[in-house]
Amino acid sequence: MKVLAAYLLAHLGGNSHPSSGDIKKILGSVGAEAEDDMIELLLSEVKGKDINELVAAGLEKLASVPAGGGGGVPVTAAAGGGGAAAAAPAAAEPKKEEKVEEKEESDDDMGFSLFD
C-alpha cells in the first residue's frame, strides 16, 4: 500500500511516469523501507496505462463493495417503479438527533480507594 501511495504522490507532484528510484526516494524521505519486488510489480501493472483511468475503474469496483454501517434509512424494494421516488424524500429528511447526557462518574476519592 505504501508503494502505491508513493507512486500516486509522485504522480500528483507532476511526474507522470514515476520510476523505481522516485518511489524509493519518497518512501525514504519518511523513513519507510521500499521492497523492490513490490515496486517492480506495481510499475509493471501500471506501465502504459493512464492513472486517472485506473483510479476511475477502481472506484467503479469499490461501488459494489458493501461498506457496512447500517445507520441509514432502510429502503425496501417496491414492485413498481416508485420505490426510488419513495425512498428519496425519506433520505432527504435530516435525522433528528436526541442528545443523551452522559453521567460523569464521581471522582470524590480520586480513584485511590481500590481496597476499601
At 74-88, the pLDDT tens digits run 555 555 555 444 444
How far is Cα 32 from Cα 103, in angstroms, rounded to an integer?
44
Residue 1 has pLDDT above 90, yes or no: no
In a domain, 111, yes or no: no
pLDDT at res. 64: 86
Q: What is the mean pLDDT of residues 5-9?
A: 92
User: For residue range 24-39, what is the model confidence (pLDDT) as tens digits?
Assistant: 999 999 999 888 999 9
Assign residue 20 the CATH number of its domain.
1.10.10.1410
Residue type, 69: G
In a domain, 90, yes or no: no
In a domain, 14, yes or no: yes
Number of structural domains the chain divides into: 1
In a domain, 99, yes or no: no
pLDDT at res. 6: 93
pLDDT at res. 16: 86
In a domain, 91, yes or no: no
In a domain, 95, yes or no: no
Residue 41 has pLDDT above 90, yes or no: yes
Given a contact cutoff of 8 angstroms between Cβ atoms, the answer to whether 44 and 56 are in contact is no
In a domain, 93, yes or no: no
Rounded (5°) CA angle 47-51-55: 130
Range of the domain at 19: 2-62
In a domain, 77, yes or no: no
